[in-house]
Amino acid sequence: NRQLVLAERPKGEPTNDTLNLIETEIPTAGDGQMLLRTTYLSLDPYMRGRMSDAPSYAAPVEIGGTMVGGTVAQVVTSNVEGFSEGDYVLSFNGWQDYALSDGTGVTNLGTSPEHPSWALGILGMPGFTAWAGLTRIGEPKAGETIVVAAATGPVGATVGQIGKLLGCRVVGVAGGAEKCDYAVNELGFDACLDHKADDFAEQLTAATPDGIDVYFENVGGKVLDAVIPQLNANARMPVCGLVSQYNATALPEGPDRMNWLMGQILRKKIKVQGFIIFDDFGHLYPEFAKEMSGWIEAGKIKYREEVIDGLENAPEAFVGLLRGENFGKRVIRVAQD
């Protein structure tokens, strides 16, 4: 059983010393347990937080502990009611080949789901995050303008497409021309801007002539700086993530703009609300699953995935995810399905 364990807490970007690949015995399922073999491992930005022991909404991975992560796995042997050999499951095996489970928090996907890995993306946590954050906090109305960055990732791409289904103007922000072309031409965004452009802030102003009503916050940093002056009165800001800051070791240099920001929030009566998807919206999951499956079946929502083979490639692929090297939802194929 290959396992990627946390060797040290990274300072800044994770390095080759952050995780160790070790080999242990494949465990045996006891009474009330099943043995799961990981097929796909999801790579998600929140994992950077688990490598750190800074205070957070979830406990960090211990040094020497296996990195946590959502997985699609197959049941190898089962002593758990409702799960049989060969079933695909959505589970939380972490960065390893095999894991034992008593079935808690594990969803049976059946023996032949059409796209097993989609349970880690559009039909799972990231898709649900986009749907709940946008509709329940962003509350967009037809004709309003939505801005979302990381626009071709699983959260951003879904936010933008739902925004279009709701009749909004959607402006994406992404890293580079190829991603922006995809957002506009494949996903149907009205515009998409490259945050690496020198005149990004000017481009954003030009692309949002009626201001911004909903800023779905995925990245923070320069994008947030450019967005704030464009926000309209009564704008809403679901604060979903701040991926540009996850490797940061200090606050950015420069004047303290905390009170300027609060002034903007006050004068424009902006609603700013953070959320942690399953803590805050877990009860809405069935409603999401039904609506999203319907949209996918009807061809109304597109999904792009990037599959990388081999558990041993997960650490490098994860560092690349935070740098924006992924194009679509990044998953590791740990075993052939």
Is residue 69 involved in binding ligand NDP (CB under 6 A)? no
Is residue 155 involved in binding ligand NDP (CB under 6 A)? yes
* DSSP conformation letters of 276-294: -HHHHHGGGHHHHHHHHHH
Residue 156 to residue 222: CA distance in whole angstroms: 17
Q: What are phi and psi of 105, to 5 degrees?
A: 70, 10
Is residue 243 involved in binding ligand NDP (CB under 6 A)? yes
Contact 162, 172 (CB under 8 A): no
Is residue 224 involved in binding ligand NDP (CB under 6 A)? no
Select 91 or 218, whichever has its Cβ closest to ligand NDP: 218
Quick one: which of 179, 296, 301, 334 contacts ligand NDP (CB under 6 A)? 179
Per-residue mark of binding to ligand NDP, 40-59 (x: CB under 6 A): ----xxx-------------
Residue 101 to residue 91: CA distance in whole angstroms: 9
Is residue 238 involved in binding ligand NDP (CB under 6 A)? no
Of 213, 235, 229, give the one whose Cα is nearest residue 167: 213
Residue 207's SS3 state is helix
1-25: burial string, b at 16+ Cβ within 10 Å, e else:
ebbbbbbeebeeebeeebbeeeeee
Is residue 241 involved in binding ligand NDP (CB under 6 A)? yes
Closest CB 317 distance from ligand NDP, rounded Å: 11
Is residue 119 involved in binding ligand NDP (CB under 6 A)? no
Residue 240 to residue 216: CA distance in whole angstroms: 7
Residue 212 to residue 204: CA distance in whole angstroms: 10
Select 131 or 295, whichever has its Cβ closest to ligand NDP: 131
Quick one: which of 211, 221, 291, 304 contacts ligand NDP (CB under 6 A)? 221
Select 202 or 210, whichever has its Cβ closest to ligand NDP: 202
Closest CB 195 distance from ligand NDP, rounded Å: 5
Is residue 149 involved in binding ligand NDP (CB under 6 A)? yes
Residue 182 to residue 180: CA distance in whole angstroms: 5
Per rule CB under 6 A, count of chain residues that contact ligand NDP: 31
Is residue 314 involved in binding ligand NDP (CB under 6 A)? no
Closest CB 56 distance from ligand NDP, rounded Å: 11
The amino acid present at 28, given as its one-letter code, is T
Tracing tokens 């994008």 back to the chain, one arrives at: 223
Residue 148 to residue 155: CA distance in whole angstroms: 9
Residues forming contacts to ligand NDP in the complex (CB under 6 A) are 44-46, 125-126, 129, 149-150, 152-156, 174-175, 179, 195, 218-219, 221, 223, 240-241, 243-244, 275-277, 321, 324, 326
